[in-house]
Amino acid sequence: MRGIILAGGVGTRLLPLTMVHNKQTLPVYDKPMIFHLIDYMKEAGIIDIMVITGREHCGDVFSLLGSGIDLGVELTYRVQEKADGIAGALHLCRNFARQDPVTVILGDNLFEHGIKDCVKSYIGGAMVFTKEVPDPERFGVVSFDENNKVTKIIEKPSHPETNHAAVGLYIYDHQVWDIIEELTPSARGEYEITDVNQAFLNLGQLHCNKIKGWWQDTGTIESLYEATLLMKKLREKQDG
């Protein structure tokens, strides 16, 4: 299993903090945000990791992380030249992944509980992770049948059928690369990760894991602050 951290984007909602810094280098409690993501990968047994970053602040990320040796991982980098969506960024990782499955995490998502068991039990296809939220219309919404199997995923629906949001965490096998090749841009000009997941669903190979504990998107000033509070509580709990 290889890991991919998507750490691009200009962090518009975090201005002025991101005027001269990549948002993933901002602190969340005791570490830069991206350190927490690397720790998350390591806890799941993933140490071969590609980091995708944008051109604007790529030097920040390279300078901070280096080869990854100080963090106990091996890092590879690619620069996403234009903001063409999550699937567009993921497409840059094909040669890195080769035929291995990949765990993909969006660089502004933090989680309380790890996925070591999910990685160990993964058998192929796609795995998405969901969390019940009070405002599902802001996310990709996952619907289920009576047997708890995924029936559809709709990106930011006006009238969500459920309150299960797809979080920024995915596991894919090698089929993902051919699926991305066949995608067409959405109305907003991006290659959507929801379309990737829908393609796996059409193949009957989409699995869902409902995560436990908290999930925090750190894309706004308020959510970044909340993430720091949550991470502080988590560290205090871990330290006993």
In this prediction, residue 4 carries a pLDDT of: 98
Give the Cα-Cα-Cα angle 93, 17, 9 (nearest 5 degrees): 20
- Whether omega for the bond prior to residue 16 falls within 30 degrees of 0, making it cis, is yes
Sites in the chain below the pLDDT cut of 70: none
Look at residue 69 in the predicted model and tell me its pLDDT: 96
What is the per-residue pLDDT for 172?
98
* pLDDT in the model for residue 122: 95
Bridge-partner residues for 190, per DSSP?
Answer: none
Q: What is the 3-state secondary structure (H, E, C) of 39-103?
A: HHHHHCCCCEEEEEEECCCHHHHHHHHCCCHHHCCEEEEEEECCCCCHHHHHHCCHHHHCCCCEE
- pLDDT of 232: 95
Q: pTM here?
A: 0.94
Q: What is the structure's pLDDT at 83?
A: 82
In the chain, the domains with their CATH numbers are: 2-123+168-204+214-238 (3.90.550.10)
Residue 46 Cα to chain centre, angstroms: 14
